[in-house]
Structure 1
Amino acid sequence: MADIKLNAVAKHFAGTAALHAISATIQDGEFVALLGPSGCGKSTLLRLLAGFEAPTAGALSIGAQEMANAATGRAVPPEARNIGFVFQSYALWPHMTVRRNVSFALEVRGLSKSEQSRQTEAALQATGLVAFADRMPADLSGGQRQRVALARCLVSDPQAVLLDEPLANLDVALRASMQQVFLDFHHRTGATMVYVTHDQAEAMAMANRIAVMHEGRIVQFDTPEALYSRPCNRFVAGFVGEGTVLPISDFTPGGSLGNGNGSGTARLFGRQITVQTDGGRPNQLCLRPEDITITETGDLRATVIRSTYLGGRYRLALQTPEGAELMAESRARHREGSQLGLSIATPWAFYED
């Protein structure tokens, strides 16, 4: 296993920048998700790690070995990087059985028949595919094909595993079960894993840390908890989780909250509220549904414009007299057009130009 280091890595296509001087370190054994909308550069970054593309600028290393360096022209080919790659399309050989799909990489390496058999059976066992070993890919479900692709990674004992939206073609129920398969694989092998997705729920359910990407840059690289509760800017606040970004004014610093964050007061809709922040003078806040309590004594009023039943609770879209739209949750049903009182409890505030 190995850590991954990116040093000012950039990639241009026909003069257009797809990645802008990305520097980051992925620790040995981490499960990292690259999260962002289509076109943000996450798949391009994954292809650079795999060796399918070469950087236009910068360098990257995996473990102790430098894999690519634009300045020197160094580019270690994909087959020499000892990296597993799981594609969205599975990329299985249709004319080979499951067992042969898994063992083929070992055949190419020239391992003995007995060693090929031992490692292949271990990989099939680890991914729950022993009973399907003699089937052809066409006879498998989407989830089973994805397990074959994962077993093919496992059998080669890679120092890192790269996954490019591997669950995008699966239905919702199967995606949830396959998330656990990937987590089990990670816990069992300790492999460094880099997982590309545009699905925030998927990223937050599996990754130790998430790199949120936007327009070819990593805008925040943090734990799922920190991204949700302490976004660094408007894009992260809007892309990760649900909520509303609103301007605040007249910020006055307060004391420590005892969790590494500071507090202060600011004005929102002409009312003074308490906010938490990491310092500086914030001018925006991220208001999550859990920051809002529906109460008759609340001095903020809002109108219900939409109520969506989510099973045991309702998601409410609210509108304030100032025209701002807020998201709240309630155990009780509230009719559209209802007037509600709200109180706001210590949302996260940040500064943005």
Structure 2
Amino acid sequence: MKVSIENLAKSFGEKDAVNDLTLHVNEGEFLVVLGPSGCGKTTTLRLLAGFERPSSGRIVVGDTTVTDPEHGVFVPPQKRGLGMVFQSYAVWPHMTVFENVAYPLRVRRVPMKQIRLSVQGMLELVGLGEESASPATALSGGQMQRVALARALVADPSVLLLDEPLSNLDLKMRERLRHELKQVQRRTGVTSVYVTHDQSEALELGDKIALMNGGRLEQFGTPDDLWHVPTSRFVADFLGTANIVPVVAPDRLRDKKVVTAEGATIAVHGGEVDADGNGYLVVRPEAARLTSEAPVSSSDGNVWPVNVVERTRVGGVTNSRVEWGGQAVRVSALSDATQAGPGKAYLSLARNDAWVVSR
């Protein structure tokens, strides 16, 4: 079911937790709301769930308006038809796995025969088909979160809400469960809104990402949009790692070239600069190339001599720090014996990997 959030705002005293937020989630889509602590992402989820009342704005689920303070509309949480998975598993320790998952159906007075079929089917879907009779206290953290997910899905919610559900798990388990979560979401087709501060989760899970900053929407789009064509330094820096270099475009990027403070001319893919032609070049470390000898040819002309200050290896990746016209630039590449070591080298960059933002 589709979700529309229009001009949503929420204040706590003088603090604006959410400010004029507009988002649209298509049916069956997986939206990740991403951002640092205090950016308003969890408040947004609580407003959608009905746990908080907004100061202004409107929320529509499907064709039903569930929140609209201007017209006195507020549908309570239990009547919104939403499923919720919390950060703390919220699994009842005195119940078995089956009883935990069956609880929402029992509250709705679903016949026991249907409960058995629905619960067992959902436990099979999340990989707990053999744990039905196990006490909740016998489960691992990853298994308890699967129980919470099954319980949220068993009543066939119109929208699934997830509030940092993997943050209490260790790294290996988080990586495994986010893959499983995406598979479950695809199989069920449920529209999902997932809150996290973890960029890796956002990039892997999201069909779309809403990156928030200071209560406002900083950028909305696909993971590729935010990674390759950020709209601000904040987006480029928050999502992964980026080299950000001040530049000037005297002709406002009409020839798709910018100039650094040291006079280096760079051919870029696109972007925008401010009214005075000032902007910031954004280059991902893995997009730059570092070689011990100058490339034979470069159609973009983006090749410069540099000095490699430091070179470190992490697993199969080599990270280099170079001095380029007074700027410190990071370069990452799969480890290769031919890559330039400390000392003189050549930095090259394809036009398509260079983007400019105005702020």
TM-score by length of 1: 0.92
Residues 239-248 or 26-35, more deviating: 239-248
Determine which of 288, 300, 308 is the counterpart of 1:292: 288
> Could you tell me how far 1:17 is from its partner in structure 2?
0.5
Q: Which string of whole-angstrom CA distances, capped at 9 and with x for unpartnered residues, describes residues 225-275 of structure 1? A: 1111100001001011211111111355778xxxxxxx7111133111110
Determine which of 320, 339, 348 is the counterpart of 2:354: 348
- Residue 190 of structure 2 aligns with an amino acid whose one-letter code is A
> Could you tell me how far 1:116 is from its partner in structure 2?
1.2
Q: Which string of whole-angstrom CA distances, capped at 9 and with x for unpartnered residues, describes residues 88-131 of structure 1? A: 11111111111000001101001111111111111111111121
The 2-side partners of 1:229 and 1:278 are apart by 11
Residues 243-252 or 131-140, more deviating: 243-252
State the match for 1:266 in structure 2.
Answer: 258
The 2-side partners of 1:182 and 1:330 are apart by 29
Check whether the contact 2:281–2:355 (CA below 8 A) recurs between aligned residues: yes
The 1:26/1:92 distance shift into structure 2, 3 A limit, reads: same
Instruction: Name the SS of the counterpart of 2:269 in structure 1.
Output: strand
Check whether the contact 1:289–1:328 (CA below 8 A) recurs between aligned residues: yes
State the match for 2:324 in structure 1.
Answer: 320
> Could you tell me how far 1:341 is from its partner in structure 2?
2.1
> Could you tell me how far 1:185 is from its partner in structure 2?
1.1
Q: Which string of whole-angstrom CA distances, capped at 9 and with x for unpartnered residues, describes residues 284-325 of structure 1? A: 1101123311132242313323x3323222122333341434
Q: Which runs of 5+ in 1 are unaligned?
A: 256-262
The 1:252/1:323 distance shift into structure 2, 3 A limit, reads: same
Residues 1:283 and 2:279 are matched in the alignment: yes
Q: Which string of whole-angstrom CA distances, capped at 9 and with x for unpartnered residues, describes residues 124-145 of structure 1? A: 1111112111112211011100
The 2-side partners of 1:270 and 1:221 are apart by 34
Counterparts of 1:59-70 in structure 2, within 5 Å, are 59-70=58-69
Q: Which runs of 5+ in 2 are unaligned?
A: 295-302
- Residue 66 of structure 1 aligns with an amino acid whose one-letter code is T
The 2-side partners of 1:188 and 1:48 are apart by 27
Check whether the contact 2:289–2:331 (CA below 8 A) recurs between aligned residues: no
TM-score by length of 2: 0.90
Q: Which ranges of 4 or more aligned residues in structure 1 deviate by more than 6 Å?
A: 333-336
Instruction: Name the SS of the counterpart of 2:124 in structure 1.
Output: helix
Question: How many pairs were matched up?
Answer: 344
% identity of equivalent residues? 37
Instruction: Name the SS of the counterpart of 1:289 in structure 2.
Output: coil
- Residue 270 of structure 1 aligns with an amino acid whose one-letter code is G
- Residue 350 of structure 2 aligns with an amino acid whose one-letter code is A
State the match for 1:11 in structure 2.
Answer: 10
Counterparts of 1:325-336 in structure 2, within 5 Å, are 325-329=329-333, 331-332=335-336
The 1:95/1:120 distance shift into structure 2, 3 A limit, reads: same
State the match for 1:258 in structure 2.
Answer: none
Check whether the contact 2:101–2:154 (CA below 8 A) recurs between aligned residues: yes
Check whether the contact 2:253–2:272 (CA below 8 A) recurs between aligned residues: no
Check whether the contact 1:8–1:58 (CA below 8 A) recurs between aligned residues: yes
State the match for 1:104 in structure 2.
Answer: 103
Counterparts of 1:39-188 in structure 2, within 5 Å, are 39-188=38-187
State the match for 2:297 in structure 1.
Answer: none
> Could you tell me how far 1:339 is from its partner in structure 2?
3.4
The 1-side partners of 2:345 and 2:336 are apart by 12
The 1:273/1:29 distance shift into structure 2, 3 A limit, reads: same
Instruction: Name the SS of the counterpart of 1:309 in structure 2.
Output: strand
The 2-side partners of 1:252 and 1:310 are apart by 41
- Residue 257 of structure 2 aligns with an amino acid whose one-letter code is T
- Residue 319 of structure 1 aligns with an amino acid whose one-letter code is E
Q: What root-mean-square deviation, in Å, do the aligned CA atoms of Structure 1 and Structure 2 show?
A: 2.0
Check whether the contact 1:304–1:339 (CA below 8 A) recurs between aligned residues: no
Determine which of 291, 307, 312 is the counterpart of 1:308: 312
- Residue 348 of structure 1 aligns with an amino acid whose one-letter code is A
Check whether the contact 2:233–2:357 (CA below 8 A) recurs between aligned residues: no
The 1:16/1:250 distance shift into structure 2, 3 A limit, reads: closer
Q: Which string of whole-angstrom CA distances, capped at 9 and with x for unpartnered residues, describes residues 24-80 of structure 1? A: 111111001011111111011011111111111111111111111121232111111
Check whether the contact 1:302–1:321 (CA below 8 A) recurs between aligned residues: no
- Residue 304 of structure 1 aligns with an amino acid whose one-letter code is V
The 1:117/1:330 distance shift into structure 2, 3 A limit, reads: closer
Instruction: Name the SS of the counterpart of 1:117 in structure 2.
Output: helix
Determine which of 326, 329, 338 is the counterpart of 2:343: 338
> Could you tell me how far 1:348 is from its partner in structure 2?
3.4
Residues 158-167 or 318-327, more deviating: 318-327
State the match for 1:244 in structure 2.
Answer: 243
